[in-house]
Structure formats: C-alpha cells, structure tokens
Chain A
Amino acid sequence: MAAEPVLVMQDICKSFPGVTALKDAQLRLFPGEVHAVMGQNGAGKSTLIKVLTGVETPDSGEILLNGRAIQPESVDAAQKLGISTVFQEVNLCPNLSVAENIFIGRFPMRGLAIDWKTIEREAQAALAALNIHVDVTRTLSEFPVAIQQMVAIARALSTEAQVLILDEPTSSLDEDEVERLFDALRELKRKNIAILFVTHFLDQTYAISDRITVLRNGEFVGEYPASELSRLELINAMVGREIDEAGYAAQDGESTSPHAERPFVSVQGLGASGRIHPIDLDIYRGQVLGLGGLLGSGRTETARLLFGIDRAESGTIAIDGAPVRLNSPRKAVRQGIAFCPEDRKTEGIVADLSIRENIILALQARRGIFRYLPRRVQSAMADQFIKQLGIRTPDAEKPIGQLSGGNQQKALLARWLATEPKMLILDEPTRGIDIAAKLEIMDLVKAQCRKGLAILFISSEMSEVLRVSDRIAVLRDRRKVGEIDGKAADEQSVFRMIAGAEA
C-alpha cells in the first residue's frame, strides 16, 4: 500500500453554540483504500464530513490535500479540488435521464446547443467504469436506488476526483444492491481513488474497508487497519466506557418486575423489506423491553411498525392474545399504545401550540372533536403533569417550541401518559438532553413501568438500555440476533452479541 496519504485532516476542532462537535479530530485517507469512519450518534462523523466538504468551516486544524493546505468553502469548491461527495439520500433529479444527471451543471456544448451525443457516450463510459451497463437515456427514477446511488458516484467521479466521500450510501439498499455498490467501490480502489465510507453497518464495514477510524463524542479514538480490529474491539472503541458509571449503576433489586403470564403485545415475524427483517418480540406489562443495537440496526423501524406508521409486509401483532391490525397510529393509540418518536421536532411537538395543548393533544384526539376537555380540566391536567414530571416552564401557556429539549421530551411523555396507555414506545427519549434531565426521564420511565405499563425502550446508549431494561432484544443490521436478561447482562455481553459470530 502506498505510504503517502492523499488527504490528511489534522487536529480539527469545531464547536457549535453549546456543543463541541469535534475536538482534535484526525483523519488520513490513502489512495486505493476504503476508509471507514465509525462512531455512535453525536460522535462527530457528520461534522467531520461537513468540514471536509466545505459545508462547515473548522475552528482550528488543517486539511492537507497532497501535502498542500486547503480550505474548501462549499461543496462545489471541494469538488473542484478533487473531493467529491455522495450523500445519504441520492441528491439527483429523478425526472432527468441518467446521462443528464451525471453531466448537468457542466454540459459540453456544441455551438449554442447541448451536445447530447457526447454526453450519452461519456455517461455510458463513466458507468461502465463502475461495472454498470444501463441505457443512460432513460429517466433516473426508472432505476432502483442502488443504480441511482451508482449514478451519483459516477457524477462525483466525473470531475477527476481523488477523494470520494460516501455518506451512509447503503442505508436504503438491500443486500444485493449493497453487493453491487461494493463491486463498484472495488473497481474504484483499483483506480487508486481514496474512498471515505461512512456507515453504521458493521458487516459492511468489514466487507469493504481497509482502514477504520473511530470517533467518540467528537474526539479521535484511533485509526486501525480493519484486519487487525475485532468487532468487539471496534464496538468498545465506539461506545467507550461511560464516565458516570456511578449514576448509571445497575438496577436495584426492588425494581424486579412481576412477570405476567401473557405478554401484552406479542409480535410474530413482523417485517417489511428495506426496514426490518421479520422479528419476534413479546412485551409484558410492568416490564421494560430494551431494543439494543447500534444506530441503523432497525430499532426505530421496529417501533414504527408497531405503532402503525409504516405498514408491515409480514407477521402478526397480538394484543392480550387477540390479533390486531395496526395500520395507522390512530388504531395503535386506540389499542393503548403510545409512541414518543426519535425526532422530537418534526414528529413529536407541535411547536406553535402551548404546552397545555400539546399535553392534551393525544387524549383529545382519542376522545374526538366533540368531547372537548373543558379548559379548566386541560389546565389542571397540564399543571399536574408539569409538576409531576418537573417540566421547567413559567406556565402551561408557553409555546412548546420555546422549551429546552429535555422539557419538550417530558411534555411529550405527558401527552402520552395523559392517555393512560398500556404500552409506551420510547425512541431515543434522552437524545440531546442534559444529564440531569436524562436521569429524571429514566426514573419517570421506571416509575411508570412499576405501575404496570409495558415499555419498549430504544436508546443508542447501551448503559441506559441496560439500566432500565428487564429484557433486551439485540438487533444487528436490521435483524434480531438474540434476547438477553437485562439484569444478568452487561455491556460486554450485549456487544458480543452485536458483534456476532466473529467476536
């Protein structure tokens, strides 16, 4: 392997108001190598890429391309320097032809007119270089996402790129499609292009990468040759040891929950292609079932199927033993299921409405339009929850959008508790919330559980999952790989399970 890196990022620091996104991050890309950047949510992967592609300017540190310092100021500028990026969602125009998507913005002209002949010929050649042979005059939307992804790569490469950045290109591909993409990447390796590959799939990381850099909490953990890093070591490097071990001490004996004979929700073979492979889950009253797994392992997808947001293609759901069809959130709510979504801002809060209105929203939706809760009852309810959950606000009439993340989350929790649900799905309830609020929310969850609520708990922080869960279903790459007892398990045992056979 050539010893000289084509691109070096040194001591990159970047902070946003209130957050340090990157602290002395390092990255070296070698020609003809696929380099994977791994890390949990908030590890700084996306910020690193944004710095590299000119979307963000670093506070300090330098980027060297072929030994020369560069400061790209936009995606365009980075591309002109030879750093091309393919983003997670295919950023092409579905209505244009394949050839056009590769060349738009830099059409070869013949006189006043676009030279379509040359474009088609060169597009065909560019795709052939990636081992793709399709009719380039066809519209992009006619092709599956994998081909579209490849077209995006061809576009990225058509400007003499030395460095190709792939930001989670496989997140919407199925296995065959991933294989096709990897074939193309291997082709590119042979052409001595340096590839930066960001993914959250472990198998794929090992299938294609030569080198792995791990980031954690914005800091550089290490750079390893892929062949010398075991899966377990990788997971440990990504997750690290929790600093506040004491605060997250294992559960006390008192919270041992009574095991009901029959699960409240029993899921058999629930699946949808491109989301989650068929999965079995049993969720009991008075118990917390944790969904363990890395980002993108299918946790949120499972929750969405259970709440009727996405439609399952296979499998059955039974509630208290009776089969039900959950094809809309409304039906799920009627069955006593509640869901705090991962993305609070776009899926949870109704920003311009007051805290009071947000809290009663789900209850009111279940009561219907005409059985309107009297204002007095609403206020009493809101005030009660504000007190009970410790939502910090001067009064219940403040728009919820003006609250801090933790308080918004508590208000959403209140929205669902108000409906007196039988099961609560919590998807990353502590994301972006300060540590004190985190602990408060976790305690609330446990308290509700003790009252007999069934809880499905999703979190990227394994220590959190371990702390609250009675049982943990472990997911890897959109598949359930096992289930372990929450009290007996420690992080290592879960990680071993995630790492799978090779660990």
Chain B
Amino acid sequence: MKATLLKLTRSHLFWPCVTLVLLCLVNVHFNPGFFNIEIKDGHLYGSVIDILNRAAPLMLIAMGMTLVIATRGIDISVGATVAIAGAVAASLIGGSLVIKEGVQTYVSNTPMPLAFAAALFVALLCGLWNGLLVAGAGMQPIVATLILMVAGRGVAQLITEGQIVTVYYEPFFFIGNGFIFGIPVSLYIVAAVLGVLLLLTQRTALGLFIESVGINPVASRFSGISARALVFWVYAFCSVTAGIAALIITSNVKSADANNAGLLLELDAILAVALGGTSLAGGRFYLIGTLVGALIIQTLTYAIYSLGVPPEINMVVKAIVVFGVCIIQSPALRDLLLKHALRSGGPA
C-alpha cells in the first residue's frame, strides 16, 4: 500500500494532477455546481466542458511546445503564428451574402477545405522559417523565434489589411463551437493531435531521439542521430499545432484580429509545459502532463472569473505560478534541500 502510494507520488503526473484537483475544489467551493453537466439540445453543457473547450487551443500549442522544449529549445512565436494562420483562414473564408432559392445565405469566398489547407500551410512555413534559423543558422532559439514574434503580427495585419476580419460563413463556426455526439468538436481535434503525437513518439523512434538530443546532444550525434534535421522538423510541427489552434480560435470568435489573436499564448504554452513536469532545460517530456498543465491554467482562469476578480489579475497569479514552478525545478533549490536533509539526517 505504502509502496504504491510512493510510486504514485513519484509519477510525473502526480503533482500536476494534485494541483488540478485542488483548483477544481476551489471552484466547487465558490460554485457548488462546478461539476454539474447537463444535456441541452443534445449537447453537453457545464463548467467542466466549458473549461475543456476553452483550453483546446492552448492544449494544442502546448503539445507542440513540449517537443520544442524537449530539444532544449523554445518557440515564442506561436502567438504570432496563430495571428497569421487565423488571418489567412478568415480572409479566405470571409463570407458573402447571396440569395439562394429565395433565402439569404452566406457562402465562403474560397472552399473551406482549401482555406484550412492554406492556413495550415502558412503556419508550416512559419515553422520552417524558425527551424531554418535555429537548426540551419544556429541561432539561439529565443532569438530566432523572437524575429517572427515581432514581425508576425505585422504580417497578419498585412493579410487582414489592418481590419478585424469577420467571418459570416456558418459551417466554419462548427470547429470552434460545434458539437459531435454532445462533445465539443475542438476536443476531437485535441484528441486527434494527441493520438498522432503519441503514435509518433511511442510507436516510432521520434520520442527517443528527441529526448536523447535534449539530454545529451553530443552523445546523440556520436550515436548517429541527425540532431539538426530533428530540431528543424520539431519547430515546423510546433507551428502547425499553432495553425490548428488558430482555426479553432478564429472559428470560436468568428473573426480574426491580427493584434490580439493568440496574444501571450506563447507564455501560457510554456507555462503549461513546465506545469506538466517537462523540464525547461530539455530532455524527458510528458505530453499528457502538458495537457494537464493547460487545463490547470484554464481552470485557474475560470476560478478567478468565478471569484469575481477582474480577469486581468489572472496575470499576477500566473506570474506567481511561473516563479513557483521554476524555483521548484531549479537545481539550486534541490542542492539546498539536499544539504539541509543531509545535515538534519546526520552522517549516514
């Protein structure tokens, strides 16, 4: 019994899950109906569903970010990529009013699948660019992705011509607001991406190589792993997850705002990865942990809303969480605790 408990606490998912449960308890305290789920119009409704749905874009990006961080990198351009991909999708779909069989309907400017493909392709280009700078030119990841972070929103505004592009085409709203079998569509997307990633990282050698490169790049190279190509594609993939998230976000708010879409999302994504137990120094990564991390952030936001505190103050809480997580992860603290433990334990 004790052994099982010990094993449980050692699991990388233990602390993230404990945090999430505590947050949920806080929510229940202030809102006894927190866990209530009802069925309206055949859809599931409730706080939990709402949190899951809203956390979907963050979960997607955080998964891509997890891989980047595992290779000892960082991608701070995902917010800008969201803005660009969202702008592409919204501009291409838009929606013009036509009268069909005597009824006013909106039709898409470009076929929707094509618009999706274009948005994802543009996101991929962003990622290839980052990958080229990091793996090809050998820039520090934070600097390389800073460039796109700065220029990206300008590019997005170029696409939207400085306007907030509103989408009127109904079918587009489905991915951000729709339900399949009562469950939000966005969650199916998260599940699909997670499935693909788990497949790739566990059924192929990808996960092994990423961790190996993140832990010891030299030894990995000496073993014959092509670390640079790996890093390159990891950045490309991270941007694609940002592209998918952009589709959900744009669909959800029915418009693309080049200035504010995905603002500070990169920071939330990094935070989610760190909360999920993946070290910011690279190496072992935990995709499920990252998802829990994303849920923690969203639940925290929800809790702050339900406390009636202005949502902007959320930032203060997040900052404290960032500091807390980093201090816990820091080797210095571990040394300090170890020294303390040794001293109090006496000469063993």
Q: Which residues of A contact B (CB under 8 A)?
A: 307, 309, 329-330, 333-334, 339, 341, 346-353, 357, 361-362, 364-373, 415
- Give how many A-B residue pairs fall within 8 Å (CB-CB): 75
Q: Does B329 contact A (CB under 8 A)?
A: no
CB distance from A385 to the nearest CB of B (A): 15
CB distance from A336 to the nearest CB of B (A): 11
Q: Does B109 contact A (CB under 8 A)?
A: no
Q: Please state if B212 and A353 are interface contacts (CB–CB under 8 Å).
A: yes
Please name the 4 residue pairs, one residue from A and one from B, whose CB atoms are nearest each other, closest first.
A333-B224, A365-B224, A362-B223, A365-B225
Segment among B17-25, B38-46, B213-221, B336-344 that sits at the interface with chain A: B213-221
Known: A353-B211, A353-B212, A365-B225. A370 touches B219 (CB 8 A): no
CB distance from B171 to the nearest CB of A (A): 36
Q: Contact flags (1/0) for B146-171 with A, using CB distance below 8 Å?
A: 00000000000000000000000000
Q: Please state if B224 and A357 are interface contacts (CB–CB under 8 Å).
A: no
Q: Please state if A350 and B216 are interface contacts (CB–CB under 8 Å).
A: yes
The residue on B at minimum CB distance from A373 is B205
A353: which of B215, B218, B222, B224 is its contact (CB, 8 Å)? Answer: B215
Q: Contact flags (1/0) for B188-232 with A, using CB distance below 8 Å?
A: 000000000000000111101101100110111111111000000
Q: Does B284 contact A (CB under 8 A)?
A: yes
B284: which of A329, A352, A366, A370 is its contact (CB, 8 Å)? Answer: A352
Q: Please state if B206 and A347 are interface contacts (CB–CB under 8 Å).
A: no
Given contacts A362-B224, A371-B205, 12 further A-B contacts (CB under 8 A): A329-B224, A333-B224, A346-B218, A347-B219, A350-B216, A350-B220, A352-B215, A352-B284, A353-B215, A361-B223, A365-B226, A372-B203
In angstroms, Cα B216 to Cα A351, docked, is 8
Residues of A within 8 A of B216 (CB): 346, 349-351
Residues of B within 8 A of A366 (CB): 224
Residues of A within 8 A of B205 (CB): 364-365, 367-373
23 examples of A-B residue contacts, CB within 8 angstroms: A309-B222, A329-B222, A346-B218, A349-B216, A349-B219, A350-B211, A350-B212, A351-B215, A351-B216, A361-B212, A361-B220, A362-B223, A362-B224, A364-B205, A364-B208, A365-B220, A365-B224, A365-B225, A367-B205, A370-B204, A371-B205, A372-B203, A415-B223
Residues of A within 8 A of B209 (CB): 364-365, 369
Q: Which of B205, B208, B221, B223 has the most CB of A within 10 A?
A: B223
Residues of A within 8 A of B224 (CB): 329-330, 333-334, 362, 365-366
Residues of B within 8 A of A367 (CB): 205
B222: which of A339, A352, A357 is its contact (CB, 8 Å)? Answer: A339
In angstroms, Cα B209 to Cα A357, docked, is 10
Q: Contact flags (1/0) for B86-107 with A, using CB distance below 8 Å?
A: 0000000000000000000000
Residues of A within 8 A of B223 (CB): 329, 333, 361-362, 365, 415
Q: Does B283 contact A (CB under 8 A)?
A: yes
Residues of B within 8 A of A348 (CB): 219, 222
Q: Please state if B204 and A352 are interface contacts (CB–CB under 8 Å).
A: no
In angstroms, Cα B211 to Cα A353, docked, is 8
In angstroms, Cα B161 to Cα A495, docked, is 79
Kindly state the interface size class of chain B when it binds its partner.
20 to 34
CB distance from B128 to the nearest CB of A (A): 18
CB distance from A337 to the nearest CB of B (A): 10
Residues of B within 8 A of A362 (CB): 223-224
CB distance from A381 to the nearest CB of B (A): 14
In angstroms, Cα B209 to Cα A372, docked, is 11
In angstroms, Cα B225 to Cα A349, docked, is 14
Residues of B within 8 A of A350 (CB): 211-212, 215-216, 219-220
The residue on B at minimum CB distance from A344 is B219
Residues of A within 8 A of B204 (CB): 369-370, 372
Q: Please state if B219 and A346 are interface contacts (CB–CB under 8 Å).
A: yes
Q: Which of B203, B211, B212 has the most CB of A within 10 A?
A: B212
Residues of B within 8 A of A373 (CB): 205
For chain B, residues 107 to 138, give those with C-beta under 8 angstroms from any C-beta of chain A: none
Q: Please state if B219 and A357 are interface contacts (CB–CB under 8 Å).
A: no
In angstroms, Cα B224 to Cα A334, docked, is 9
Q: Please state if B218 and A347 are interface contacts (CB–CB under 8 Å).
A: yes
In angstroms, Cα B206 to Cα A361, docked, is 11
The residue on A at minimum CB distance from B225 is A365
Residues of B within 8 A of A364 (CB): 205, 208-209
CB distance from B241 to the nearest CB of A (A): 19
B211: which of A329, A347, A352 is its contact (CB, 8 Å)? Answer: A352
Residues of A within 8 A of B225 (CB): 330, 361, 365
Residues of A within 8 A of B219 (CB): 346-350
The residue on A at minimum CB distance from B206 is A369
The residue on A at minimum CB distance from B204 is A372
Q: Which of B215, B219, B226 has the most CB of A within 10 A?
A: B219
Residues of B within 8 A of A352 (CB): 211, 215, 283-284
The residue on B at minimum CB distance from A352 is B215
In angstroms, Cα B284 to Cα A348, docked, is 18
In angstroms, Cα B22 to Cα A173, docked, is 62
In angstroms, Cα B211 to Cα A369, docked, is 13
In angstroms, Cα B238 to Cα A86, docked, is 46
The residue on A at minimum CB distance from B212 is A350
Known: A329-B224, A330-B226, A333-B224. A361 touches B208 (CB 8 A): yes
Residues of A within 8 A of B211 (CB): 350, 352-353
Residues of A within 8 A of B208 (CB): 353, 357, 361, 364
In angstroms, Cα B206 to Cα A350, docked, is 15
CB distance from A374 to the nearest CB of B (A): 9
CB distance from B159 to the nearest CB of A (A): 34
In angstroms, Cα B214 to Cα A353, docked, is 11
In angstroms, Cα B205 to Cα A292, docked, is 39
The residue on A at minimum CB distance from B230 is A369
In angstroms, Cα B223 to Cα A364, docked, is 9
